[in-house]
Amino acid sequence: MIDAEELERRYRDEEGDRVERKREARDLDDLRKAICALANDLSGTGRPGVLFVGQADDRSCANLAITNELVEKLTHLRSDGKLQPFPVMTVLTATIDGCPVIAIPVAPSDNPPVRMDGRTHVRVGRSTRVASTEEERRLVEKRRWNTLPFDAQGVAGAALDDLDLTRFTLEYLPSAVAPDVLAENGRTREEQLRALRLIDPLGRPTATGLLIVGKEPLAWLPGAYVQALRIGGTELTDPIRDERRIDGTVADQIRQLDELANLWIEHPTVVGGQVRKVAPTYPDAALRQLLRNALLHRTYEGSNAPVRVTWYDDRVEILSPGGPYGQVTLENFGTPGITDYRNPTLAEALRNLGYVEKFGVGLSIANRTLAENGNPPAEFRSEPTYIHVTVRK
């Protein structure tokens, strides 16, 4: 992204559109605002910006105590969910002119505006501030639409009428944009939809727009549903006790899956001496994480296959179309700390709606709650075209 020579030159430069400095790393939100502003690249340089932590505004050395824990904490700023969409950034340690610093190069986003807690921050000269309505319009116009992931691209043939605009206004918009930004009320509905990556420059709904506020997502994305079977036995050929087809928006599917899991989880009474307790066959928190992961990380492009949930008497199996993506490979799948997003715009939307609290920790939460309930760890089978999860009773 940036070489050592340029890093040193930026260290010695004055603050400007592409350089910001912080003496310390105590206020993480302050650092997030700086990263957000650099990623938005309002001035349009097309070059990475750099945030130096451990250097004062006057370019003097702050003698920052750099530890592995601090570096790890700053690395997690990219994917902890407060910055959406995820910025492209690296966290480097360096000693420049005898000063220990942490340098964070941030690439200009292909999909601006990047927001931090529903606010778009920009860098203007030596200051970072919330973008005006006109500045946000400029950022939207800078999107490199041909390079965006599938979930941020317009769906051919779809039109604005295919979105539930009442639902957008009442449910999604207040969750995605900070109240003070909404209060400005200077944006048209189409500008709001475009800024939130729900329609493209031609006014066509994006895949995320249809999945989040679409009237009939299945009309455009045929695999966007869940097939759930409750089997009375341990083999697929055993009698079917219940069968559900779960569709609608992704939020609708999540709510229906939560209700279905609560219905199908059994709560047998365990008696031991004078103690009687109810022990669920599966912890609902674990299934909730695994099912939401399946909806978020599946491929919606070029596949008519649904997410499949098969609930046997002794186990639950979840099959999600689409294999590992990006830096997640067949070999490292499930390794803590290694995560990537096939659908980053959908991830942003689910975070806005409160269905994802923190990214990259779902599998860890699932296995922790399984262990607390007495279940074995979840078993993962990763293939190029699907992910298969087994949770045992």
Gap between the Cα atoms of 358 and 124, Å rounded: 30
Give pLDDT, residue 364: 85
Report pLDDT for 95: 96
Angle at 46 (CA atoms; ends 45, 50), nearest 5 degrees = 80
Least confident of 58-67, 104-113, 287-296, 335-344: 335-344
Determine contact, residues 321/386, Cβ cutoff 8 Å: yes
pLDDT category of residue 273 using cuts at 50, 70 and 90: low
Q: Where in the chain is the domain with CATH 3.30.950.30?
A: 4-129
CATH numeric code, 226-392: 3.30.565.60
CA angle (287 as vertex; 265, 361 as ends), nearest 5: 155
**Structure confidence at residue 332 (pLDDT):** 74
CATH topology of domain 4-129: 3.30.950
Q: Does the pLDDT value for residue 333 go beyond 80? A: no
Domain with CATH 3.30.565.60 in the chain: 226-392
Contacts of 125 (CB under 8 A, 6+ apart): 16, 17
Q: Which pLDDT belongs to residue 276?
A: 63
Average pLDDT of the residues of the chain: 92
Going by pLDDT thresholds of 50, 70 and 90, the confidence category of residue 271 is low
pLDDT score for 30: 97
Confidence of residue 375 (pLDDT cuts 50, 70, 90): very high
CB-facing half-sphere around the CA of 27: CA atoms within 13 A: 9
CB-based contact 351:197 (threshold 8 Å): no
Dist CA 227 CA 216 (whole Å): 17
- What pLDDT digit, counting tens, does each position of 131-159 carry? 998 999 999 988 887 789 999 999 999 99
